[in-house]
């Protein structure tokens, strides 16, 4: 056995044994600390790569469904440990969800990934800074501010006019960033007052240049979130250039808004901030974080929903009948928000494909989770300060005891009878940090859906029909959303025949 005399092999054996010993010793210490506090450790995920558990992370970010598969294998709560990164507790147990709303847990993990791109603002801060930001932003979401929808209406009309008819189109990128007019226009108009239909001549970038930069910014941020403490592996130079360019675009619009000194109602986000603060970087950070909230979210919800409906002709027919029966009256903030048929469709879409399938929290002090530890998974879990916690809504939303035995089915009807608690169904978060854009987003999505249903008699699913959620900041289908819309009153080029 000469191979065992080779110095390289001996070194490798010593190195591997030391790694395994170190992991074992760390776990032993954590277990002792847990038991001393009347708690126990959750089951351990068996990562193949012991240094950073990269195999686990890559799988998780590349296919969100691994969340549900892991929970089936390890139970609703488990821990991922590796030598060079802090352990992360993963949970989809409704009893652990109040941690999202508790003062013991904060947003440190998100800040780590976001800060380079967005600076510090409402999405990344805790404590007083978050509290102040929320207080300042909140009035911007008052009904009087979001129910004025004439700009949005023009965006939707333009979108529908340009939609190809009778042939395959991938509607996901159209919703998300398309070269034609879309949600992003609305988001930019709402946050910084940028009118893509009438852009200022001296802006540092055109809308399409900005969209390209924005996409790179979101992608880079997603990668940094994924790598966590290993984000130093990524090249920073080009990413910093992208972030600088985005900042200069937003700064330009802050400057314009300051000169405009607009007092009109409803207020745009930028105007609301200017009237409250003259700290440029504070305003800029919040605008960038506002665009993140406003941009991808509604469009991902829409493409996920169309992906389902395109494969359920009977539902599309029912939806169209519902919309046609209401006539023009349906196109108002209140009618769309209270339309049970459409809102059940969105509830079900967000159940199966939550736009944010998980959230992370980091413990601000030593605390406990009520359940998930020990051999039978029912003991409380001790969490020292700085413990990372990953709350998986994607897996939470698949509990048959709450949603029925057919959890993987798209069945909007179930919402007529089920009543999940605020900790069993969390597409918009829960507690003091819940989503401020919920109403805005559900009404905008309903407006778009109602217009599509009125315009098109049929929508057919095309392509493979596969859905594999890839996580960047939000989670969209790797394979897009290939569909074909049909209308007897429009030709293939979109014009009347």
82 vs 387, which CB is nearer to ligand HEM?
387
Tell me which stretch binds ligand HEM (CB under 6 A): 72-80, 352-360, 365-373, 478-486: 352-360
| Least distance (Å) between residue 132 CB and ligand HEM | 11
207 vs 362, which CB is nearer to ligand HEM?
362
Binding-site member from 122, 246, 257, 452 for ligand HEM (CB under 6 A): 122
The footprint of ligand HEM on residues 269-328 (CB under 6 A) is 293-294, 297-298, 301
| Least distance (Å) between residue 418 CB and ligand HEM | 19
Binding-site member from 253, 268, 307, 440 for ligand HEM (CB under 6 A): 440
Q: With CB under 6 A, what is the number of residues at the site for ligand HEM? A: 23
Work out the number of other CB atoms within 10 angstroms of the CB of residue 180: 12
| Least distance (Å) between residue 482 CB and ligand HEM | 22
188 vs 381, which CB is nearer to ligand HEM?
188
The footprint of ligand HEM on residues 33-72 (CB under 6 A) is none
47 vs 471, which CB is nearer to ligand HEM?
471
Cα gap 494→159, rounded to integer Å: 11
Phi first, then psi, for residue 44 (nearest 5°) are -100, 130
Does the protein bind ligand HEM through residue 395 (CB under 6 A)? no
Tokens of 85: 């990164």
| Least distance (Å) between residue 405 CB and ligand HEM | 26
Please identify the residue of the shown chain whose CB is closest to the bound ligand HEM. 437
Tell me which stretch binds ligand HEM (CB under 6 A): 70-78, 168-176, 198-206, 427-435: 427-435
224 vs 490, which CB is nearer to ligand HEM?
224
Does the protein bind ligand HEM through residue 356 (CB under 6 A)? yes
45 vs 159, which CB is nearer to ligand HEM?
159
| Least distance (Å) between residue 393 CB and ligand HEM | 8
* Strand partners for 78: 90
* Nearest Cα residue to 251 out of 267, 274, 268: 274
Q: What mask, x for binding ligand HEM by CB under 6 A, covers residues 235 to 274?
A: ----------------------------------------
Direct distance between the N- and C-terminal alpha carbons of the chain, in angstroms, rounded to an integer: 81
Cα gap 119→216, rounded to integer Å: 16
Tell me which stretch binds ligand HEM (CB under 6 A): 80-88, 173-181, 203-211, 351-359: 351-359
Binding-site member from 78, 109, 214, 359 for ligand HEM (CB under 6 A): 359
Does the protein bind ligand HEM through residue 188 (CB under 6 A)? no
| Least distance (Å) between residue 326 CB and ligand HEM | 23
380 vs 429, which CB is nearer to ligand HEM?
429
Tell me which stretch binds ligand HEM (CB under 6 A): 44-52, 212-220, 256-264, 424-432: 424-432
85 vs 186, which CB is nearer to ligand HEM?
186
Binding-site member from 67, 79, 89, 123 for ligand HEM (CB under 6 A): 123
Phi first, then psi, for residue 77 (nearest 5°) are -135, 135
Q: What mask, x for binding ligand HEM by CB under 6 A, covers residues 193 to 232?
A: ----------------------------------------
Give the 3-state DSSP-derived string for the chain, with helices as H, strands as E and coil as C: CHHHHCHHHHHHHHHHHHHHHHHHHHHHHHHHHHHHCCCCCCCECCCCCCCCCHHHHHHHHHCCCHHHHHHHHHCCEEEECCCCCCCEEEECCHHHHHHHHCCCEECHHHHHHHHHHHCCCCCCCCHHHHHHHHHHHHHHHCHHHHCCCHHHHHHHHHHHHCCCCCCCEEHHHHHHCCCCCCHHHHHHHHHHCCCCCCCCCCCCCCHHHHHHHHHHHHHHHHHHHHHHHHHHHCCCHHHHHHHHHHHHHHHHHHHHHHHHCCCCCCCCHHHHHHHHCCCHHHHHHHHHHHHHHHHHHHHHHHHHHHHHHCCCHHHHHHHHHHHHHHHHHHCCHHHHHHCHHHHHHHHHHHHHCCCCCEEEEEECCCEEEEEEECCCCCEEEEECCCCEEEEEHHHHCCCHHHHCCCCCCCCHHHHHCCCCCCCCCCCCCCHHHCCCCHHHHHHHHHHHHHHHHHHCCEEEECCCCCCCEEECCCEEECCCCEEEEECCCCCCCCCCC
Binding-site member from 273, 428, 467, 485 for ligand HEM (CB under 6 A): 428
297 vs 387, which CB is nearer to ligand HEM?
297
Binding-site member from 113, 193, 377, 429 for ligand HEM (CB under 6 A): 429
CA 324 to chain centre: 32
* Nearest Cα residue to 456 out of 493, 484, 497: 484
| Least distance (Å) between residue 401 CB and ligand HEM | 23
Binding positions for ligand HEM, rule: CB under 6 A: 100, 122-123, 134, 137, 293-294, 297-298, 301, 355-356, 359, 427-429, 433-437, 440-441
């Amino acid at each position: 056995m000469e191979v065992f005399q080779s110095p390289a092999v001996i070194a490798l054996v010593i190195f591997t044994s030391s790694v395994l010993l170190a992991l074992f010793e760390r776990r032993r210490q954590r277990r002792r600390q847990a038991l001393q506090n009347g708690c126990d450790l959750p089951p351990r995920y068996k990562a193949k790569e012991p240094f950073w558990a990269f195999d686990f992370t890559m799988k998780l970010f590349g296919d969100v469904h691994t969340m549900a598969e892991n929970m089936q294998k390890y139970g609703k709560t488990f821990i991922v440990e590796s030598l060079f990164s802090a352990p992360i507790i993963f949970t989809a147990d409704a009893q652990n969800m109040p941690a999202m709303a508790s003062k013991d847990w904060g947003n440190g993990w998100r800040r780590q990934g976001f800060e380079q791109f967005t600076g510090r603002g409402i999405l990344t801060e805790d404590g007083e800074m978050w509290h102040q930001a929320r207080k300042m932003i909140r009035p911007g979401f008052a009904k009087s501010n979001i129910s004025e929808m004439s700009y949005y209406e023009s965006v939707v009309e333009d979108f529908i006019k340009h939609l190809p008819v009778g042939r395959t189109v991938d509607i996901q990128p159209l919703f998300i960033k398309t070269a034609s007019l879309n949600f992003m226009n609305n988001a930019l108009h709402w946050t910084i007052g940028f009118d893509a239909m009438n852009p200022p001549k001296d802006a540092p970038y055109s809308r399409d240049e900005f969209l390209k930069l924005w996409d790179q910014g979101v992608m880079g941020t997603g990668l940094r979130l994924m790598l966590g403490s290993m984000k130093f592996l990524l090249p920073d130079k080009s990413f910093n250039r992208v972030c600088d360019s985005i900042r200069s675009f937003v700064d330009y619009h802050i400057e314009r808004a300051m000169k405009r000194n607009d007092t009109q109602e409803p207020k745009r986000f930028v105007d609301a901030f200017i009237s409250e603060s003259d700290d440029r970087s504070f305003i800029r950070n919040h605008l960038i974080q506002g665009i993140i909230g406003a941009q991808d979210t509604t469009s991902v919800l829409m493409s996920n929903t169309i992906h389902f409906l395109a494969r359920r002709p009977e539902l599309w027919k029912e939806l169209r009948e519902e919309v046609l029966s209401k006539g023009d009256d349906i196109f108002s903030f209140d009618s769309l928000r209270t339309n049970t048929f459409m809102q059940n469709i969105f509830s079900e879409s967000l159940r199966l494909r939550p736009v944010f399938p998980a959230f992370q929290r980091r413990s601000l002090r030593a605390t406990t989770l009520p359940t998930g530890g020990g051999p039978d998974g029912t003991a409380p879990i001790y969490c020292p300060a700085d413990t990372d916690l990953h709350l998986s809504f994607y897996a939470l939303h698949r509990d048959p005891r709450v949603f029925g035995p057919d959890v993987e089915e798209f069945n909007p009807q179930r919402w007529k009878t089920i009543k999940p608690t605020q900790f069993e169904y969390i597409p918009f978060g829960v507690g003091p940090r819940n989503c401020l854009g919920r109403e805005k987003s559900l009404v905008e999505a309903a407006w778009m859906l109602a217009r599509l249903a009125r315009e098109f008699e049929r929508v057919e699913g095309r392509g493979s029909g596969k859905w594999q959620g890839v996580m960047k900041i939000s989670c969209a289908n790797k394979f897009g959303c290939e569909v074909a819309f049909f209308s007897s009153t429009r030709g293939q080029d979109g014009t009347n025949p």
